[in-house]
Amino acid sequence: TAEVLERIQAWSAANPRARWVVGTGWTPDQFRNGQPTRQLLDGVVKDRPALMLSADETTASVWANSTALRAAGLTRRSEDPTGGSIVREARSGEPSGLLHGSAATALAALIPKPSRADRVEALRTAILQANAHGITSAQNTADSCESDLDLYDEVMRAGRMTLRVYCTT
């Protein structure tokens, strides 16, 4: 748990202009009783919404801080949506910060979409990281490749495309 929280806090501190703190990769075995809580996340991200997607994509679970829960209007009076659940604290009935299924999807839909400039910067960063590890080519899936072609083109025109990308269909 400590390592997970340290990584979230470090990213949050390094990215103060990000409107949301979003991450992925947590697993239930990293937390007492297998359930992360909003209080844990509140302790490392106090100033904006934070939402962590689980590593297990089959359960569609998210872990949110209190600010994200408020942004979604989730309270102890909120009903579980069809196909989803809001895990609640036993004593208070307040949302614990853990949501499953359609409840998780609805909360994740509030995350602002990255701007074009953000997407170009993310691509540049990914290319630099790949190159730093000796990677000179990569393969992209058809569903994301077509929508990213203009980004690749922009990076190439700027003379920063140092990665060969193959698009699969």
pLDDT in tens, 94-153: 999 999 999 999 999 999 998 899 889 989 999 999 999 999 998 876 566 677 888 989
Q: What pLDDT was estimated at residue 143?
A: 63
Report residue 58's pLDDT band, with 50, 70 and 90 as the boundaries: low
For residue range 133-149, list pLDDT tens digits in order. Answer: 999 998 876 566 677 88
Q: Report the C-alpha gap between 35 and 129 in whole angstroms.
A: 33
Burial class, 125, CB count within 10 angstroms (exposed 0-12 / middle 13-18 / buried 19+): exposed
What percent of the chain has pLDDT above 70?
95
Q: What pLDDT was estimated at residue 142?
A: 59
Does 75 score more than 70 pLDDT? yes
Q: Compute the average pLDDT of residues 27-50.
A: 93
Instruction: State pTM to two decimals.
Output: 0.78
- Phi and psi angles of residue 139, each rounded to the nearest 5 degrees, phi first: -120, 135
Q: What pLDDT was estimated at residue 86?
A: 97
C-alpha 82, offset from chain centre: 23
Q: Report the C-alpha gap between 130 and 139 in whole angstroms.
A: 12
Q: Report the C-alpha gap between 60 and 51 in whole angstroms.
A: 13
Q: Report the C-alpha gap between 107 and 121 in whole angstroms.
A: 25
Q: What is the CA radius of gyration of the chain?
A: 18
Does 74 score more than 60 pLDDT? yes
Structure-token pair, residue 89: 């604290």
Q: What pLDDT was estimated at residue 59?
A: 58
